[in-house]
Amino acid sequence: MITYIDIAWTYNERRTKSEVMSTNQTDKSIHSASQFKLSGNIQSSIPFGSGHINDTFKITTDSSDANLYLLQRINHHIFNDIEALMSNIETVCQHLKTKIAHLGESEVLKRTMTIVKTKNDKTYYQDEQGAFWRVFYLIPDTRSYDILETPEQAFSGGMAFGQFQKQLSDLDPKALVEILPNFHNVEFRLSNLRKAIEQDPENRVAEVQDLLDYIFAREEKMMRILNMGRAGELPLRITHNDTKFNNVLLDAQDQVQCVIDLDTVMPGFVAYDFGDAIRTIINSAAEDESDLSKITLNIPLFQAFTNGYLSEAKDFLTDAEVESLGYAIHLLPYMQAVRFLTDYIEGDGYYKIAYPDHNLVRTRSQLKLVDELEQHQGILQDILSGSLMSEG
Ligand code: GN1
Ligand code: MG
C-alpha cells in the first residue's frame, strides 16, 4: 500500500482552508485533472504541499496500479510564458532521466519528476477561464520537511542538490529559457524595493522604516556574489533556484529520492542554491515564525548539509565558487526578506498569505535569521572550510 506522508501538508491545511478548499475549486481541479492521461477514474482531489506560488492538489484514481498524481494550477501572473516553462521542465526531466537510465525504468520514475501529458499530448492544459494546469506522477513512499529533524536528513538534502547540479552540468544552458530573469539578482530585488517605497500604495512604508534601515545598511556587502559574477569570476551553471529543503523528497530511511519543483531551473550561480538551502536548513523555526526568539541556528544541520553538498560538488566547484558559498549563506535570507517586504509594501500580490501581515512577519523572521547568521559568521566559515578540507 502506498503511504505518502508530507509534513509540509500541515502548514498547507492551515492556509488552504479558506483559499483553495472550496467545492468549486475541487470541482475545477477534478475537471482539469480529467484532461490528462491518468490511469483509472479520478477518486479525489485534495490540496497538497506548502508552495507560495502555484496551487497543488493530490489526485487519487481507482487504478489497480495505485497511481497518484500531482496536479498544479500554475500561477501564470508570475510564470507568464507557460510554453517555455514547461519546455524547460521537460528538457531538465529528460536530461536527468538519461543520467540514471542504467537503474531501470521503475527507479527512474522514483528519482526524477515525470510529466503526465494531456490527452492531446501537451505538457499543460488551459481551462475555459484561462488558467494553466499540469500533472506529474506523485512519487510514493516519500516525505518532505519544512523543518528538518536530523543531520542525516540534512546530509541527504545536501547530496541531493549537489547531485542535481552535477547531473545538469553537461546540459547546455542555452537549452533553457531564463524563465524569471534576474531572479536572484539582489540589485534588481533592491531596485524593486525602492520602487515600492516610492509608490507606497498601501501606506505601509512608515511602519517598516526600521526594517528598511537594516536592509539598506547591508546593501554593499550583499553585492559580493553579483560583483564576482560581473567580473567573470563565477561560471554560469544550470541551477535549481528554489532549494528550500521541502523541495527534496526523502524516502522512509531519509535517503534522497528526488528533487522537486523545477519551475525555476535556469542558468545561475551555484552559491544561490547553497545559500537558499541553508536558509531553511539552519533555521530552527519556520520561515514565517512570528516569535523571533525561536529563530536560532541549528549548526550541526548546517555542517551535515555542507558535508553532503560538498561530497557531490567538490569535484566541479572552482575556488571562486567555494568562496561565494560563504557569502550566499547571508545573501539568500537577506534577499528573501527584501522580496517579502517588497510584496508587503506593494499590497501582497505575489506570495500567498494566510493573514494580513503575513509578509511582514516573514520579513522580520528572515531578518532575524540574517542577524543570527552574522553573529555566527566565524564559526560557519570555519565549518565550511573544514568540510572542504575533509572532503577534498
Ligand atoms: C516561492 O512557492 P515556492 O515555495 O515554490 C518562491 C521562492 C521563494 C519561496 C519562499 C517563483 O517558492 O523563490 O524562495 O517562495 N518562488 C518564486 O518560501 O518566486
Ligand atoms: Mg517554487
Q: What average pLDDT does the structure give for the chain?
A: 91
Ligand with minimal distance to 365 CA: 1
Segment 289-298 shows an average pLDDT of 98
Ligand with minimal distance to 268 CA: 1
CA of 290 from ligand 2 middle (Å) equals: 22
Q: pLDDT tens digits, residue range 197-227?
A: 999 999 999 999 999 999 999 999 999 999 9
Please report, rounded to a whole number, the percentage of residues in the chain having pLDDT higher than 70: 93
Dihedral angle, C-alpha 101, 142, 275, 226, nearest 10 ° = 50
* pLDDT for 7 beyond 60: no
CA of 65 from ligand 1 middle (Å) equals: 33
- Read out DSSP for 165-194? HHHTTTS-GGGS--SSTTTT-HHHHHHHHH
Residue with CA at minimum distance from ligand 1 atom 19 = 53
Q: Are 55 and 72 in contact (CB under 8 A)?
A: yes
CA of 57 from ligand 2 middle (Å) equals: 15
Residue 15's pLDDT is: 34
Q: pLDDT tens digits, residue range 9-39?
A: 322 333 333 344 456 778 889 999 999 999 9
- Which cell numbers in the block locate residue 256? 534522497
Residue with CA at minimum distance from ligand 1 atom 13 = 242
Q: pLDDT tens digits, residue range 328-370?
A: 999 999 999 999 999 999 999 999 999 999 999 999 999 999 9
**268 CB neighbour count, 10 Å cutoff:** 23
CA of 51 from ligand 2 middle (Å) equals: 6
**Ligand 1 site: residues with CB under 6 angstroms?**
51-53, 78, 242, 244, 261, 263-264, 287, 336
